[in-house]
Structure 1
């Protein structure tokens, strides 16, 4: 039950973070070549954060 709620929460968070990252790239006028690296870095860091949060919730 917890995992299904957390997956929905994680998808919502990732979607919103990607929207904010896109806004950042447009506002700071980051070149197209570097945008992929920015998105990849932010997505990896957010995924690590979500996984560690899930593990903390699971073992608390």
Structure 2
């Protein structure tokens, strides 16, 4: 059980880091104003966290 949690936390950190890098590149490429960037990052991070939590629950109870 502890190993599953550890692996999933490492996986989550890697995924969030990768998604944030891609989001930053998107903001630069599409020239999104600095005022809107925090909202873009927040929205994407919340959606990714929902996806990761639901996949964790699926792995845990499957």
TM-score grouping bracket, smaller chain normalisation: over 0.9
Q: Which residue of 2 aligns with 1:36?
A: 38
**Aligned match of 2:17 in 2, 15, 18?**
15
**How many equivalent residue pairs?**
60
Counterpart-to-counterpart distance in 1, 2:36 and 2:43: 11
Structure 2, gaps ≥5 residues long: none
Q: CA RMSD for the aligned pairs?
A: 0.3
Q: Which runs of 5+ in 1 are unaligned?
A: none
| TM-score w.r.t. length of structure 1 | 0.99
More helix by share: 1
Q: TM-score, normalised by structure 2?
A: 0.96
